[in-house]
Amino acid sequence: MSQAKRTEISELGEFGLIDHLTKDLKPQNSSTLYSIGDDCAVLDYSGNDKEVLVTTDMLMEGVHFDLTYVPLKHLGYKSAMVNISDIYAMNGTPRQMTVSVALSKRFSVEDMEDFYAGILLACQRHGVDLVGGDTTSSLTGLAISITCIGEAEKGKAVYRNGAGQNDLICVSGNLGAAYMGLQLLEREKAVFNSTPHNANEPFNPDFAGKEYLLERQLKPEARGDIIKELREAGIQPTSMMDISDGLSSELIHICKQSNTGCSVYQERIPIDYQTAVMAEELNMDVYTCALNGGEDYELLFTVPLTDHDKVIQLKDVKLIGHMTRPELGRHLVTKSGQEVELKAQGWTSNL
Ligand code: ADP
Ligand code: MG
């Protein structure tokens, strides 16, 4: 939290705070008819070629985030980004957002400025208008609830239940890095807590060479660029979701909802160099991290076999396997050719 200056929220009051944080906002989308300032925001999605997408997430301090190592600006950015990612995961375009917060007395006006700076940066990067929210008090800590609204072309929203039995399974980016970033932060927090130190001396955690992992944990990026690439390539995925809980768990969701089995090849799972180094340092199996780690916010999607030649041309997309008949089960094919059943491991329960 901000150390430099501290203005109590009570000095501005709830209305003063909202006004202070949102006064310079100008809506960017034609579907935003009226934004902050009345009992409701007013949206116009009447163009008959659109479907409206709505997603909500709730984040609780101590359960979903730890303010000892997450700066409020990053927290704002990530909270907004995970909602934006859900809209992309439906093959949509994010347009509006509401942000509700419950604040304890620990939080100052400056803290909220940082938090909103993060939210607004994420919104600006993805063309989203902040159109409302609610502000209330909490006895302990911070609670955040964000709703994102977007649009999809009529009939073009992509669900989890549309995968066919021979479809190709694809993922964007790489996996496991956000989880390794969390391990790194937790490790340095433990070092901090167990080393005697003077409160006035800055603590210098050892993050050298691991900046990418931290970025993936603290500042995830929703893959709107992949959605755009897919559209430009004329590929309509048959199923899609964003990877928030780990590849294994998400694949199981898609298979269950689509009534398919799957085979995923271990050697094809994309892993960044820093993720592999960190896993080795921690004596963890890097593929287990990539399969179960969570919070990568990459896209997992399936395409028909006939799109093979198109999909292999896409930048930053890897083909990792294929769907099968449901009775064949859900498998990881290891590097040595063994078939291992995919399991949704519970590692994410403390994320
Ligand atoms: P109401 O009494 O109808 O709930 P509020 O006084 O809570 O209205 O809110 C007034 C306006 O400020 C509304 O447009 C609301 O959406 C907006 N607002 C309130 N809290 C927030 C917030 N945390 N972030 C963004 N907008 C907010
Ligand atoms: Mg209100």
Predicted pLDDT at 313: 97
| Residues of the chain above pLDDT 90, percent | 89
User: What's the rounded mean pLDDT across residues 333-351?
Assistant: 75
Q: Tell me the residues surrounding ligand 2 (ion) with CB < 5 Å.
A: 134
Fold of 168-194+208-341: Phosphoribosyl-aminoimidazole Synthetase; Chain A, domain 2 (3.90.650)
168-194+208-341 shares the fold of 9-153: no
pLDDT at 330 exceeding the cut of 90: yes
| Residue corresponding to tokens 């109590």 | 8
Predicted pLDDT at 1: 54
pLDDT at 309 exceeding the cut of 80: yes
pLDDT at 23 exceeding the cut of 80: yes
pLDDT at 259 exceeding the cut of 70: yes
Render pLDDT for 187-209 as a digit per residue (tens, 0 to 9). 988 888 887 777 667 677 778 89
Predicted pLDDT at 192: 83
Predicted pLDDT at 3: 57
User: What's the rounded mean pLDDT across residues 302-319?
Assistant: 98
User: What's the rounded mean pLDDT across residues 89-105?
Assistant: 98
Q: Locate the ligand 1 atom nearest the alpha carbon of residue 98 and give its number.
A: 25
Q: Domain ranges for the chain, please list them.
A: 9-153, 168-194+208-341
Predicted pLDDT at 59: 97
Fold of 9-153: 60s Ribosomal Protein L30; Chain: A; (3.30.1330)
Render pLDDT for 204-258 as a digit per residue (tens, 0 to 9). 777 889 999 999 999 999 999 999 999 999 999 999 999 999 999 999 999 999 9
pLDDT at 182 exceeding the cut of 50: yes
pLDDT at 150 exceeding the cut of 70: yes
The answer to whether the CB of 18 is under 6 A from ligand 1 is: yes
Mutate to test the pocket of ligand 1, among 135, 146, 148 (most ligand atoms within 8 A of CB): 135
Nearest bound ligand to the CA of residue 23: 1
Predicted pLDDT at 208: 86
Mutate to test the pocket of ligand 1, among 15, 18, 136 (most ligand atoms within 8 A of CB): 18
Predicted pLDDT at 304: 98
- Mean of the per-residue pLDDT values of the chain: 94
Residue nearest to atom 2 of ligand 1 (CA): 39
Predicted pLDDT at 205: 78
More confident residue, 194 or 265: 265
